[in-house]
Amino acid sequence: MALYRILSLDGGGIRGLMTSILLERLEAARPGVVAQTDLIAGTSIGGILALSLAAGFSAAEVTHSLEASGTAVFSSSSLHAEQAPGETAALYANDNLKAALTAIFGDRTLADLSKKVLIAAFDLDNEAKSGLGRIRTWKPKFFHNFPGPGSDGDEKIVDVALRTSAAPIYFPIYQGYVDGGVVAKNPAMCALAQAIDTEAGRQSLTDIVLLSIGTGQNANFLAVDVTHDGNWGMTQWSTDTRLLDVTWGNDVSLVDYQCRRFLGKRYHRLDPILSESIHLDDFAQLRRLVAVARQEDLADAVAWLQRYFE
What whole-number distance in Å separates Cα of residue 199 and Cα of residue 299? Answer: 37
CB 296 within 8 A of CB 42: no
Return the number of other C-beta atoms located less than 10 Å from residue 125's C-beta: 11
Q: What are phi and psi of 249, to 5 degrees?
A: 85, 15
Burial label, 237 (beta-carbon count in 10 A; 0-12, 13-18, 19+)? middle
Active site residues: 44, 179
* Angle formed by the axes of helices 157-164 and 45-54, nearest 10°: 160
The whole-angstrom separation of Cα 139 and Cα 121 is 9
Of 27-31, 164-168, 242-246, 261-265, give the lowest mean pLDDT range.
Answer: 242-246
pLDDT in tens, 14-64: 999 999 999 999 999 999 999 999 999 999 999 999 999 999 999 999 999
Checking if the pLDDT of 154 tops 50, the result is yes
Q: Count Cβ atoms below 10 Å from residue 20 Cβ, excluding itself.
A: 29
Q: Determine contact, residues 97/171, Cβ cutoff 8 Å.
A: yes
Q: Give percent of the chain with pLDDT exceeding 90.
A: 61
| CA 215 vs CA 18, 20, 218: distances in Å | 6, 10, 9
Residue 1's pLDDT band (boundaries 50, 70, 90)? low
For range 229-251, the mean pLDDT: 66
Predicted pLDDT at 18? 94
> Using an 8 Å Cβ cutoff, are 54 and 157 in contact?
no
Helix H or strand E encompassing 121: strand 116-123
Q: Which of 47-61, 139-153, 235-249, 284-298 has the lowest mean pLDDT?
A: 235-249
pLDDT in tens, 53-112: 999 999 999 999 988 877 777 765 545 455 555 556 888 999 999 999 999 999 999 999
Alpha helical stretches, state H, the chain: 16-29, 33-36, 45-54, 59-73, 95-105, 157-164, 181-184, 188-196, 226-229, 234-238, 242-247, 252-263, 286-295, 299-304
- The pLDDT, as a whole number, for residue 115 is 96
**Residue-level pLDDT at 72:** 75
When the pLDDT of each residue in the chain is averaged and rounded to a whole number, the result is 87
**Quick one: which of 201, 203, 202, 200 has its CA closest to 150?**
200
Mean pLDDT of 141-155: 94
**Confidence at residue 78, expressed as pLDDT on a 0 to 100 scale:** 47
Q: Is the pLDDT of residue 290 over 80?
A: yes
Report pTM: 0.90
